[in-house]
Amino acid sequence: MNGSRQLIAIFLVVAAASLALVGDLFAKLLAVSYGAIFICFGRYLAGGAFGLGVLILSQRFRLPPLTDMSGQFLRAAIAACSIICLIGALMHAPLADVMAGFYLAPVISTGLSATLLGERLGLVKSIGTGLALFGAIAILDHTGAFNLGGALAILSGVLFAFYLIAAKMASEAEDPPSAAVIQSLMAAVCTAPLALSGDAIPLSWPTIGLFVLIGMISTICQAATLIAHRWAAASTLAPFFYAAPVSSVGLGAVVLNETPTPAGLLGIMAIASGGVLVALADLKRPELPIINRTTRTA
């Protein structure tokens, strides 16, 4: 049963990474006219409402334990900050660079697991983590000057790594799809005051539809990621996230006419290679999924 769950977790990660790339492409298109916080608010509001409706209609909605509501709010706030940074990065950097920075998260979460959850890191994982960090430096400073887009992308990845760790520390009684919906609605509440405080921008029906589509993609991907990290170790899933940053090079070139700099391409490959090294280390020494832990986030 554990082997079957691990295969399903891998499939969910590949599907989520590929689908999320499409959602981020749409967000980059919206960023031409709307601010990062407003896009984040619309994304979470639409996604949370969509997910809640689906779960209620299918009678699958499970309210998280009331004793963990503070933990739910904390995870929602971390996720919202990560997405705001991600959208901000999309305004200033090529799609491929942003995806590479964001997908530092699985590698960083592996390192944090060693520090916070007592997982063994080992030599190969350490080398992989170092290689990924080298890639981050290449993306951050590929012109010899400070790169705001790269910095925001990396910050987004760091924040999402903390989100993954917090999710792994949640109660076993938590239902991942329901948690994703609750956290989406909480994130919408968190961002609403800032998102709605500026001048109102008229929303056309096609734009509203795009917000709804992005929200639906966001909620589906978040739920799939939570389920996957409950059923398999983060380091086992890490290499399968890297289909997205590599694929984003071609997608950005075809759809957005973007060409990453040579240093940016080097950073993308270094981050992807580091993630694969981290995962390959576990082929020799499998880890148990973190779902067996009973620690609960604050």
The confidence band for 7, taking pLDDT boundaries of 50, 70 and 90, is confident
Once rounded to an integer, what is the mean pLDDT over residues 224-239? 75
Residue 95 has pLDDT above 50, yes or no: yes
Once rounded to an integer, what is the mean pLDDT over residues 46-58? 91
The verdict on residue 223 lying in a domain is yes
pLDDT tens digits for range 13-30 = 888 888 888 888 888 888
**In the prediction, which pLDDT does 289 show?**
42
The confidence band for 119, taking pLDDT boundaries of 50, 70 and 90, is low
pLDDT tens digits for range 197-215 = 865 567 888 888 898 899 8
Percent of the chain surpassing pLDDT 70: 80
The verdict on residue 261 lying in a domain is yes
The verdict on residue 41 lying in a domain is yes
Structural domain that includes position 266: 2-292
* More confidently predicted of 237 and 188: 188
Once rounded to an integer, what is the mean pLDDT over residues 103-127? 69
**In the prediction, which pLDDT does 128 show?**
75
Residue of 272, 275, 292, 248 lying closest to 19 (CA atoms): 248
For the four alpha carbons of 12, 17, 19 and 24, in that order, the dihedral sign comes to positive
The confidence band for 283, taking pLDDT boundaries of 50, 70 and 90, is low
Q: What token pair was written down for 116?
A: 């916070």
The verdict on residue 71 lying in a domain is yes
Q: If 0-12 CB within 10 Å is exposed, 13-18 middle and 19+ buried, where does residue 194 land?
A: middle
5-30 as b/e, with b when 16 or more CB fall inside 10 Å? bbeebbebbbbbbebbbebbbbbbeb
User: What DSSP line would sit under the chain, residue for residue?
Assistant: -HHHHHHHHHHHHHHHHHHHHHHHHHHHHHTTTS-HHHHHHHHHHHHHHHHHHHHHHTT---PPPGGGHHHHHHHHHHHHHHHHHHHHHHHHS-HHHHHHHHTTHHHHHHHHHHHHS----HHHHHHHHHHHHHHHHHHHTSSSS--HHHHHHHHHHHHHHHHHHHHHTS-TT--HHHHHHHHHHHHHHHHHHHHTSS------HHHHHHHHHHHHHHHHHHHHHHHHHHHS-HHHHHHHHTHHHHHHHHHHHHHS-----HHHHHHHHHHHHHHHHHHHHHHHS----GGG------
First to last CA, the chain: 31
Q: Give this prediction's pTM.
A: 0.75
The domain total for the chain is 1
The verdict on residue 297 lying in a domain is no
Once rounded to an integer, what is the mean pLDDT over residues 251-270? 77
Residue 129 has pLDDT above 60, yes or no: yes
Pairwise CA distance, residues 263 & 142, whole Å: 5
* Polymer length in residues for the chain: 298
pLDDT tens digits for range 147-182 = 788 789 889 988 988 888 887 777 666 788 888 899
Structural contact between residues 167 and 229, judged by C-beta atoms closer than 8 angstroms: yes
The verdict on residue 298 lying in a domain is no
* More confidently predicted of 271 and 45: 45
Once rounded to an integer, what is the mean pLDDT over residues 124-152? 71
Q: What is the mean pLDDT of the chain?
A: 78
Cβ within 8 Å of residue 41, ≥6 positions away: 188, 191, 192, 195, 196
**In the prediction, which pLDDT does 6 show?**
78
